Amino acid sequence: MSRIGKLPIPLPSGVEVKSGAEGVQVKGPKGTLSAKLPEQIAMEVRDGQIVFTRPDDSRENRSLHGLARALCANLVTGVTEGFKKGLEIQGVGYRAQVSGKTLNLLLGYSHPVEMPIPEGLSVSVDNGVNLLVEGIDKQLVGQFAADIRSKRPPEPYKGKGVRYAGEQVRRKVGKTGAA
């Protein structure tokens, strides 16, 4: 039995789950999310919990069992609590600001980098260097944070660039002077 797939997902109060041929739809206090689940995995709502079962113990069905449970758990968490991803900007003159639905980044290029903020996400900037991406869709939050980081990933010599909050950047030793 899949260690992740066999765990039931408790449903908090105020959360509704509908399953159909197109997948599962979860509605909660923060919004509505839907996802397509694997066809082999059966989903059932009973006693205030979501339970997943698989038809047999084939390798593919075992892996899809855990996947289906994880996807549905992310939907329930998203509509109740939401997801956050923190980013830090390090470097002299590097900073960010939000204007309307656009994130403006100054990352040492000759021009500012402008990124439109996707629908359903909110970005807040603290002191110009700490960013917080928030939303109910885990995949969308993580992808937008990765897109921001990809504009100037941290470099290994001085550590300048955009990094995730708490990320450790391995530093390299620079050149030694001529002897």
Tens of pLDDT, residue by residue over 143-177, are: 999 999 999 999 999 999 999 999 999 999 888 76
Q: How far apart are CA 165 and CA 112, in angstroms?
A: 22
> What is the β-pairing status of strands 102-106 and 42-46?
unpaired
Distance from CA of residue 82 to its chain's centroid?
10
pLDDT computed for residue 2 by the predictor: 64
Q: Give residue-wise pLDDT tens across range 56-82.
A: 989 999 999 999 999 999 999 999 999
Same fold, 9-80 and 83-164: yes
Residue 169 CB neighbour total at 10 angstroms: 15
Residue written as tokens 């403006």? 104
Residues 6+ apart with CB under 8 A from 77: 83, 138
Fold designation for 83-164: Outer Surface Protein A; domain 3 (3.90.930)
Amino acid (one-letter) located at 29: P
Q: How far apart are CA 63 and CA 151, in angstroms?
A: 34
The helix (run of H) or strand (run of E) holding residue 31 is strand 31-35
| 115 has a pLDDT exceeding 80 | yes
Angle of CA points 123, 129, 134, to nearest 5°: 20
CB 160 within 8 A of CB 154: yes
Residues 6+ apart with CB under 8 A from 50: 8, 9, 11, 17, 43, 44, 72, 76
CB 130 within 8 A of CB 87: yes
pLDDT computed for residue 1 by the predictor: 54
Q: How far apart are CA 14 and CA 80, in angstroms?
A: 9
Q: What is the CATH number of domain 9-80?
A: 3.90.930.12
> Helix and strand tally (H, E) in the chain?
2, 13
Dig out the tokens for 68 from the structure: 């289906």
- When the pLDDT of each residue in the chain is averaged and rounded to a whole number, the result is 92
- The residues spanned by each domain of the chain are 9-80, 83-164
Residue written as tokens 């100037």? 152
